[in-house]
Amino acid sequence: MHKMKKLLIMCGTGIATSTVVKGKVEEWLKENNLNQEVKIYQSKVSDEINRIDEYDVVLSTTLVPDKIKDKVINGVPLLTGIGIESMYEKVLAEIKR
């Protein structure tokens, strides 16, 4: 039994946009039969800056500090509808890593 991947979705408050994004990501995971492989966490950026390495995949709908930028995938496409495919490709690459 392999370890579930941890996917963090974060926004400025941990409530508003991350909830929307979480719903869409859950749908996408189901469609791709990945929902048994990934556990979703939801939070706000300020709470996670020092814990970012605990997650396998991090999606953010808001700006993040430079020191964690490399770990974070931009989740804004899920709000705008633009660039969703390439965003999911990045997420998938991290899940499969």
* Contact (Cβ atoms closer than 8 angstroms) between residue 75 and residue 42: no
Q: Is the pLDDT of residue 94 over 90?
A: yes
Pick the CATH number of 5-96 from 3.40.190.10, 3.40.50.720, 3.30.460.80, 3.40.50.2300: 3.40.50.2300
- Specify the pairing of strand 57-60 against strand 5-11: parallel
DSSP conformation class of 36:
T
Q: Is the pLDDT of residue 15 over 70?
A: yes
Per-residue pLDDT of 24-40, as tens digits, reads 999 999 999 999 999 99
Q: If you average pLDDT over every residue of the chain, what do you get?
A: 94
Per-residue pLDDT of 38-61, as tens digits, reads 999 999 999 999 999 999 999 999
DSSP conformation class of 19:
H
